[in-house]
Amino acid sequence: MDSGNTAWLLISTALVLFMVPGLALFYGGMVRSKNVLNMLLMNMVCLGIVPILWVLFAYSLALAGDGNGGLIGTLDAAGLKDLDSQGLLEMAFLMTFASITPALISGAVADRLKFSAWMVFVPLWLVLVYCPVAFWIYGADGWLGERGSLDFAGGTVIHINAGVAALAVALVLGRRKGWPDEPMLPHNLPLVTIGAGILWFGWFGFNAGSALAADGVAVEALVNTFVAASAAMMAWLFAERIKDGHFTTLGAGSGVVAGLVAITPAAGYVSGLSSLVFGAAAGVLCFLAVGLKYRWRYDDSLDVVGVHMVGGIVGGTLLGLFADQALVGDDYGLALGGGSSLFGEQLLSMAVVLVYSFAVTYAIAKVIDGIMGLRAGDDIETTGLDSTQHAETAYQTF
């Protein structure tokens, strides 16, 4: 790789890493003040657990080699074996993606998960769910990628995957004590807003870095990422103004993230003004989707399902409609005259990941629950996780 490409990928790695504390603030502001440290730590600890497993063997399982029928990687690159500097850099770049993906799930289990259960869940989920799903789409002979499914920066592999996993864990875990009758309001919306801003900033590395070069595709991806987030924020704000009467900071932050999620699978594959469609659709549909938890009574506490799963599905579907021939080749978007092949593959890959991730995550959660228990317990839930799980308090009176 030339020095320009190397420099951009080094910077992008740092940008995506910065999304983890950004996500921690985004979620941390949304929980009640007695649980904010627990939420921050659930996110930050992913930057501890995942990189260790990644360099030991998870990177190799997720992305190296071929010959296992396209289902999982080999152990050829376990322990960073035989990686040159370019291989090491790509490994590090993808390590940040692997770190933030389980962190996304933490928003659905807020306020009630035992911290030790999270420490067991993250490594199991990484190996049993993230690694195979990543290989299916990005691996050398990954079966979904081979069939023609596209996912530029991880709409399916990361957002749909984490979003549906969040639903599975939330269902096994059960609702928070008192939800939804008692108000459980965000304790610090300024933190949420800062977090959303950091995510937006880092997402330029996430999407434009996924071009793996400092080239025209990276520029296209950056512009699409920028515009989709703007469109989604405005769409969410106006949708809630019309339906509920107010423009809210929580809505603006959620809209930004919804737009970023939706453009992720398509960032380097669509052009022109398509990104406006991705953003507008994600803003409205994710806004409507976050209300479903009240109707169906699942406690997806911080709307991981409504934003990441639904936003990922919106983006993956629209990619099948709007993929640009100049960027993806002959099987391009259905709406642009490219036939139904890509559209069908998009639906198939999303359905496969939805089913696999939900089923395996549900099983992981059930096993952990059976062996050590998932819930912190009623008393702890009332007192708060910060003081009981971590012996710390975020905001001291004196």
Partner 1 sequence: MKLVTAIIKPSQLEAVKEALKAAGVAGMTISEVQGFGRQGGHTEVYRGAEYQVDFVPKVKLEAVVGATDADRVLDVIVDAARTGKIGDGKVWITDLGGIVRIRTGERDDDAL
Closer CB to partner 1, 114 or 187, in the complex: 187
Cβ at position 352, least distance to partner 1 in Å: 31
The reply on whether position 250 binds partner 1 by CB under 8 A is: yes
Alpha carbon 366 to its chain centroid, in Å, reads 22
- Find, among 108, 105, 272, 267, the residue nearest to 179 by Cα: 108
Q: Which is nearer to partner 1, 208 or 250 (CB)?
A: 250
Q: Cα separation of 187 and 150, whole Å? A: 39
**From the CB of 298, what's the least distance to partner 1, in Å?**
15
Q: How far is the CB of 29 from partner 1 (least distance, A)?
A: 12
**Listed residue (36, 40, 35) closest to 23, CA to CA:** 40
**Torsional sign, CA 265, 234, 208, 56:** negative
Cα distances (Å, whole numbers) of residue 97 to 29, 154, 155, 206:
23, 8, 11, 8
Q: Count of residues binding partner 1 (CB under 8 A)? A: 14
Three-class DSSP category at 273: coil
Nearer to partner 1, 245 or 337 (CB): 245
> Distance between CA 373 and CA 367 in Å, rounded?
9
303 binds partner 1 (CB under 8 A): yes
Per-residue interface string for the shown chain with partner 1, residues 168-187, x marking contact by CB under 8 A: ---------------x-xx-
- We find the least distance from the C-beta atom of residue 397 to partner 1, in angstroms, to be 12
Considering the complex, state which of residue 162 and residue 184 has its C-beta at the smaller distance from partner 1.
Answer: 184
Q: Is 370 in the site for partner 1 (CB under 8 A)?
A: no
Least Å distance, CB 172 to partner 1, is 23
For residues 60 and 53, give the distance between their C-alpha atoms in angstroms, rounded to a whole number: 10
Q: Binding to partner 1 by residue 297, rule CB under 8 A? A: no
The binder of partner 1 chosen from 71, 294, 339, 371 (CB under 8 A): 294
Answer yes or no whether residue 248 interacts with partner 1 by CB under 8 A: yes
Q: State how far the Cα of 151 lies from the Cα of 266, in Å rounded to an integer.
A: 7
Residue closer to partner 1 by CB (options 102, 283) is 283
272 is a contact residue toward partner 1 (CB under 8 A): no
> For residue 180, is the peptide bond before it cis, meaning its omega torsion is within 30 degrees of 0?
yes
* Smallest separation (angstroms) from partner 1 to the CB of 258: 13
Q: Which residue has the tokens 């009981």?
A: 388
Stretch that binds partner 1, among 157-165, 230-238, 242-250, 384-392 (CB under 8 A): 242-250
For residue 25, the 8-state DSSP code is H
Residue count of the chain: 398
In the bound state with partner 1, the residue whose beta carbon lies nearer, of 144 and 305, is 305
Angle (deg, nearest 10), helices 46-53 and 115-125 = 30
Task: Give yes or no for residue 240 binding partner 1 (CB under 8 A).
Answer: yes
Q: How far is the CB of 286 from partner 1 (least distance, A)?
A: 12
Instruction: Please report which helix (H) or strand (E) contains residue 356, including its range.
Output: helix 341-371
Candidate ranges 49-57, 114-122, 238-246, 317-325; the one touching partner 1 (CB under 8 A): 238-246
Backbone angles phi, psi at 397, to 5 degrees: -70, -40
Interaction of residue 244 with partner 1, rule CB under 8 A: yes
For residue 290, what are its two tokens?
């976050």
Q: Which is nearer to partner 1, 240 or 381 (CB)?
A: 240
Q: Is 190 in the site for partner 1 (CB under 8 A)?
A: no
Candidate segments 42-50, 193-201, 245-253, 382-390, binder of partner 1 by CB under 8 A:
245-253
Chosen residue from 48, 67, 272, 291 binding partner 1 by CB under 8 A: 291
Q: Cα–Cα distance between 278 and 275 in angstroms, integer?
A: 5
- CB 185 → partner 1: shortest distance, Å? 6
Look up tokens 């960027």; give the residue.
327
* Dist CA 331 CA 337 (whole Å): 9
CB closer to partner 1, 286 vs 314:
286
Burial class of residue 116 (count of CB atoms within 10 Å of its CB; 0-12, 13-18, 19+): middle
Sites of contact with partner 1 (CB under 8 A)? 183, 185-186, 240, 243-246, 248, 250, 290-291, 294, 303
